[in-house]
């Protein structure tokens, strides 16, 4: 039978005869290499994002982590573990599922042992080193305790937690362990908030030549300024970095007198700062928090910074609209054509239609309880009916002007 049909089809033009065309099987065609052979998306991305380690490497500029003899440490730890195993009370608690460890102690021990490796990883995740030091990094070997206090409530700074600007109005208490004769400097910068230069930072606080851990006795180079992330820009990182000084450094060229409310003067670049003084400075401590806009900032902008409050909105990429076709088959003509019109013009038409029924002096009529129950006068084509229904129900493009 098929043989006969084949003969028959060869006599006529296959393009014109749909009956014959239906007999041709359009099988499944595999494009490209089969799945086992072709590279996966992950492999492709790895190839694209590959960075040559001989060119893209990072330099450790920080203080070295404390060196501990592995054998003595092991001995100590083994003896402790043995004692733990003999502790019958601990066993009882553990077996009854009631053992609760002391979180503070655990945290202290963590900061002393593996904590700085973990914090370094986390800071990389937050892009701290990349945006402050470029191709350099450091291990935060010196645990830095920063505490904001507002109305007797403490707001500690760790590594990325959220602190509202209203809680950080006054300068924080800073604590770290240090020898008496060592000199330190502490800097608080915001790499996300610069209004005009994208690769610069605002310096919020700078105390130099701190003897030991007495911040009050240090030399205040730049006075403390509270965080002021503008509305709509999201979360800004505010990074405390503690540098160890080799000797007393003269910071007079960076010194700002008074409260320094001129933002241009607070422009700062950690990379430049560090480059010029890298012989005498070594970063050792790190703490950072994130902060976003809150309602107290309006007053701060108006009264303290003496400027209009800037408000931003995220600029989403425009939706993809495929090139227009001559004959858009099986698509509603009005919806299709609207996609290729100027959106401002469409919005204007909606606005004009709305303003037609607005009286300048009278109050607007109350909204109808059942807007869709209004009768259509005369004969209205279906597409226009639908458009009207959509406008009544506030569906679709009418929302752009509402």
Partner 1 sequence: MQYLRHCNKFTTRGVSTQVANADLNITDFVNRNPRNLERMRIGYKPDGYHVEKPGKCFWHKLNLSQSGRYVYATIEHFENGTVLQASTKEWALKKQLYKCIDSSAYYNLGRVLAERCLKSGLIEVYSNITPPKPDGKVAKFLEALQKGGVNLQEPPQFKPPRPWDQYRHEKPWEVTE
H helices present in 96-193, as ranges? 103-112, 115-125, 128-133
- Asked whether position 376 contacts partner 1 by CB under 8 A, the answer is no
Question: Site size for partner 1, by CB under 8 A?
Answer: 82
Range 141-180, binding partner 1 (CB under 8 A): 158-162
Q: Is residue 223 at the binding interface for partner 1, with CB under 8 A as the rule?
A: no
Tell whether residue 227 is a contact of partner 1 (CB under 8 A). Answer: no
Whole-angstrom distance, CA of residue 194 vs CA of residue 201: 6
Tokens 């920063």 sit on residue = 146
Backbone angles phi, psi at 189, to 5 degrees: -130, 160
Q: How far is CA 119 from CA 58, 148, 184, 317, 332, in A?
A: 17, 21, 21, 34, 56
With binding defined as CB under 8 A, does residue 371 bind partner 1? no
- What is the rounded CA–CA span in Å between residue 65 and residue 243? 15
Q: Which is nearer to partner 1, 108 or 349 (CB)?
A: 108
182: contact with partner 1 by CB under 8 A? no
Contact flag: residue 134 with partner 1 (CB under 8 A): no
CB of 125 to partner 1, least distance (A): 4
What would the two tokens of residue 152 be? 């007797």
Nearest approach, Cβ of 34 to partner 1 (angstroms)?
18
Q: Structure tokens of 309?
A: 């409050």
Among 54, 198, 357, 379, binds partner 1 (CB under 8 A): 198
**Within 36-95, which residues bind partner 1 (CB under 8 A)?**
77, 80-81, 84-85, 87, 90-91, 93-95
Pairwise CA distance, residues 383 & 334, whole Å: 8
3-state secondary structure of 47: helix
CB of 182 to partner 1, least distance (A): 26
Which one, of 216, 129, 124, 123, lies nearest residue 173 by Cα?
A: 216
Of 126, 123, 125, nearest in space to 139 by CA: 123
CB of 159 to partner 1, least distance (A): 5
**Residue 42 C-beta: closest distance to partner 1, Å:** 10
Could you say whether residue 233 binds partner 1 (CB under 8 A)?
Answer: yes
Q: Under rule CB under 8 A, which residues in 266-325 are in contact with partner 1?
A: 289-290, 302, 305-316, 319
**339 touches partner 1 by CB under 8 A:** yes
Applying CB under 8 A, the span of 11-19, 169-177, 209-217, 261-269 interacting with partner 1 comes to 261-269
Contact at 8 Å (CB) between 263 and 230? no
Of residues 19-38, those binding partner 1 (CB under 8 A): none
């Amino acid at each position: 039978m098929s043989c006969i049909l084949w003969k028959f089809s060869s006599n006529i033009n296959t393009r014109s005869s749909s009956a014959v065309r239906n007999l041709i099987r359009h099988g499944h065609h595999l494009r490209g290499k089969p799945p086992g052979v072709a590279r996966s998306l992950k492999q492709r991305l790895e190839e694209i994002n590959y960075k040559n380690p001989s060119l893209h490497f990072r330099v450790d500029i920080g203080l070295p982590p404390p060196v501990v003899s592995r054998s003595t440490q092991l001995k100590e730890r083994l003896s402790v573990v043995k004692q733990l195993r003999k502790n019958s009370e601990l066993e009882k608690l553990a077996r009854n599922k009631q053992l609760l460890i002391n979180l503070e102690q655990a945290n202290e021990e963590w900061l002393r042992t593996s904590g700085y490796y973990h914090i370094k990883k986390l800071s990389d995740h937050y892009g701290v080193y990349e945006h402050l030091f470029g191709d350099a990094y450091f291990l935060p070997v010196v645990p830095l305790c920063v505490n904001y206090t507002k109305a007797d409530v403490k707001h500690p700074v760790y590594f990325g937690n959220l602190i509202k600007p209203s809680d950080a109005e006054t300068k924080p208490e800073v604590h770290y362990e240090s020898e008496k004769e060592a000199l330190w400097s502490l800097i608080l910068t915001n790499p996300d908030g610069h209004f005009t230069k994208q690769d610069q930072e605002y310096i919020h606080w700078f105390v130099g030549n701190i003897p030991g851990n007495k911040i009050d006795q240090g030399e205040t180079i730049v006075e403390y300024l509270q965080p002021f992330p503008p509305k709509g820009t999201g979360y800004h990182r505010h990074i405390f970095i503690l540098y160890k000084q080799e000797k007393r450094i003269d910071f007079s060229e960076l010194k700002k007198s008074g409260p320094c409310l001129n933002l241009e003067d607070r422009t700062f670049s950690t990379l430049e700062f560090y480059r010029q003084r890298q012989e005498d400075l070594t970063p050792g401590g790190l703490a950072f928090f994130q902060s976003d806009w809150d309602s107290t900032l309006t007053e701060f902008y108006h009264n303290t910074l003496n400027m209009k409050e800037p408000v931003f909105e995220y600029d989403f990429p425009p939706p993809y609209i495929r090139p227009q076709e001559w004959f858009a088959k099986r698509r509603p003509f009005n919806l299709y054509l609207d996609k290729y019109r100027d959106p401002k013009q469409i919005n204007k038409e909606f606005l004009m239609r709305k303003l037609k029924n607005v009286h300048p002096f009278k109050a607007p009529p109350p909204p109808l309880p059942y807007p869709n129950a209004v009768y259509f006068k005369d004969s209205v084509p279906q597409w226009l009916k639908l458009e009207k229904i959509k406008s009544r129900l506030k569906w679709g493009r009418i929302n752009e002007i509402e």
